[in-house]
Amino acid sequence: MASTGDKALDGPASAGAWERYALPLVLLLAIYRLAVLALGDIPLDTEEVYYLSWSDRLDLGYFSKPPLLAAMLALVTGVFGESVFVIKSISVLMHTATALVVWRLGSALYDERSGAVAALVFQAMPIVGVISMATTTDAPLLLFWSLTLLGFVHALRSDAWRWWLFTGLMAGLGLLSKYTMGVLAVGLLLFLLLQSEYRASLRSPGLWLGLFAALLVWSPNLWWLSQHDFITLSHTRHISGVEQAAGDWISLRDFLLSQIGVFGPVSAVVLLLIVGRASVWREPANRLLLLASLPLLLVISLQSYLSEANMNWASPAYIGLGIVVTAWMLQHARRWLLAGLALNLALLSLLYHYHALADLAGIQLTRKSDPYFKRLGWRELGTQLLAWRRQYPQAALLSADRKLLAQLGYHSRELQRPLLRAWNPDGQWGNQYDLYNDIADHPHGEFLLLSERPLNADVLQRFSRAQLLDVLQVKVYADLQLSVHVYRVSGFKGYR
């Protein structure tokens, strides 16, 4: 809604012409990203190949995440193969679908112009530009977060059971994507409690039907958690830092500053200018989106203070915040809107073509000056390891480092990815490989044991046969060299 005062949500105003320009640009950005993937050289992130390896064993849950992404990767790569383009294009397409949902959500709450431009603002948002090029749990989370919001708006207006059911199903799929989805329920409940026109919805049979549907969809993962000591929730609680007594103001400061880049500098400034205004909060559409979004931003900010938080962890909040800021700028600051879009697109182009632009400018990159440095060198190491895998095709890869297992397991594949085994002598679950791939549970056969450092006798004597085959090395930059020691081992005797 463009101007509702104290009225309840009442549907879109008349359509305008903006969508004729904004929506094609949304799709054009998707095509541009796919072209960058096809023609460029953006390596796979460790998290991407880590999640891909989960798809070898489909389950109802995993060590640190719910199961939906692994199932999606298994389906897509089973049909189209495991190329970098295929893996990453999943995220590009899902974020584009989210942008289209943002269009419908903005149109439903404000008008067609606001919805179409908000979709473009979302698609051009720096954080979306970054995470849409990496297939992680953020991709389905953002899609189902936006679909839940859209269903909730229609359910409030009509109180139709089909919309409450749709909302619940989308929320359940969101919970199967990432547990962050649960924070949205807090914001929606706050809206119902504070918006008198809709408080009666708390007694609606449709709402409770939707809640039951969400729990029903999530229930297989809940059952899996109960069978595994709720390890995923314990891991989430551990990284959240809730058990710590003291916090870190520097970490909080760094996180909040990073959100300027996440949202986009202009959008972030506008949000800070308007979020405290009573006139903004008086409009029910704004109130809904702000209450749906700010709790997550507050929770992740608290997490950054207590422990640490990656800059993308609050990204679902910018779905609603982006729509609010876009609608406000369309009314009051169109030049700021255009400037923000132009700046965001320029930043994205810089990130997508970072290496090519550095070469063109004659800049010698280093570990400190390359934001992609953690992804570099693994393909070359995998090619070197492949030579040894051809000599010992039955050998599984064994390591205490999930990064080595995930990256080298993917990059040394030829016809298929190798079996992966975890070295976990203390028996504590630290990652997915510890859960199901512990060598203690799969002791037979031979292994290629991988380590970034030479191994001492304490490890090697746990095998009846141990031989250093090679030290794989790749010099990425003058200040960045990757080394992996490869041992051929067999006859595992046990950890003690």
In tens, the pLDDT along 99-139 reads 999 999 999 999 999 999 999 999 999 999 999 999 999 99
CB atoms within 10 A of CB 160: 12
- Quick one: pLDDT at residue 21? 85
61 and 122 part of one domain: yes
Among 352, 382, 411, give the residue marking a domain's end.
352
Distance CA 255, CA 250 (A): 9
* 259 occurs within a structural domain: yes
Selection from 77, 92, 85, 87 nearest residue 133 by Cα: 92
- 160 and 127 co-located in one domain: yes
Assess if residue 51 is contained within a domain: yes
- Hey, CA dihedral for 351, 354, 356, 362, is it positive or negative? positive
Number of domains within the chain:
2
Q: Is 277 exposed, middle or buried (0-12, 13-18, 19+ CB in 10 A)?
A: exposed
Give the integer Cα–Cα distance in Å for 436 and 493: 19
User: Does residue 454 surpass a pLDDT of 80?
Assistant: yes
71 and 129: one domain?
A: yes
DSSP state of 438: B
Whether residue 268 is contained in a domain is answered as yes
Is the model's pLDDT at 142 over the cut of 70? yes
Q: Give the mean model confidence (pLDDT) for residues 7-28.
A: 70
First to last CA, the chain: 67
pLDDT at 417: 82
* Candidate ranges 37-41, 232-236, 406-410; pick with highest mean pLDDT: 406-410
pLDDT of residue 14: 45
Please tell me the distance from the alpha carbon of residue 432 to that of residue 430, in angstroms, as a whole number.
7
Q: How far is CA 380 from CA 100, 387, 411, 474, in A?
A: 38, 12, 8, 7
Q: 33 with 173, same domain? A: yes
Compute the CA torsion angle 256, 259, 260, 263 (nearest 10 deg): -160
Q: Are residues 336 and 381 in the same domain?
A: no
**Within-domain flag for 364:** no
Q: 23 and 162: one domain?
A: yes
- 44 part of a folded domain: yes
Q: What pLDDT does 177 receive?
A: 98
Residue 253 lies in a domain: yes
My answer on whether 273 and 410 are in the same domain is no
Reported pTM: 0.93
Mean pLDDT (the chain) is: 92
Judge if 227 and 286 occupy the same domain: yes
The backbone torsions φ and ψ at residue 341, rounded to the nearest 5 degrees and listed phi first, read: -60, -45
Does 362 fall in a domain? no
Instruction: Place 237 in a pLDDT band, splitting at 50, 70 and 90.
Output: low
* Cα–Cα distances in angstroms (integers) from residue 170 to residues 28, 98, 216, 291, 354, in the given order: 27, 13, 12, 19, 37
Same domain, 159 and 247: yes
Q: Residue 277 phi/psi, 5° resolution? A: -80, 130
Closest to 293 in 3D by CA, of 325, 270, 264: 325
Residue 367 lies in a domain: no
**CB within 8 A of 469, min separation 6: which ones?**
388, 448, 486, 487, 488
Give me the percent of the chain exceeding a pLDDT of 90. 84
Query: Which residue, of 319, 352, 385, is where some domain finishes?
Result: 352
- Residue 67 CA, chain-centre distance (Å), reads 14
- 251 and 155 in a common domain: yes
Range of the domain at 94: 19-352
Tell me how far apart the 2 most distant CA atoms of the chain are, in Å.
Answer: 78
Phi, psi of 27 (to 5 degrees): -70, -35
**Whether 214 and 68 share a structural domain:** yes
For 200-211, the pLDDT digits (tens) are 999 999 999 999
Which residue reads 């953020």 in tokens?
Answer: 138
Q: What is the mean pLDDT of residues 288-315?
A: 94
Interior angle at CA 230, CA 227 and CA 236, nearest 5: 155
Give me the pLDDT at residue 108, please. Answer: 96
pLDDT of residue 5: 38
The answer for residues whose C-beta is within 8 angstroms of residue 172's C-beta and 6 or more apart is: 213, 214, 215, 216, 217, 218
Please determine, for residue 49, whether its predicted confidence score (pLDDT) is greater than 80.
yes
User: Which of residues 352, 384, 400 is at a domain's end?
Assistant: 352
Asked whether residue 333 falls in the same domain as residue 457, the answer is no
**Dist CA 321 CA 268 (whole Å):** 10
Report the range of poorest mean pLDDT among 296-300, 303-307, 331-335.
303-307
Q: How many Å apart are CA 441 and CA 430, to the nearest integer?
A: 16
- The Cα–Cα gap between 26 and 32 comes to 10
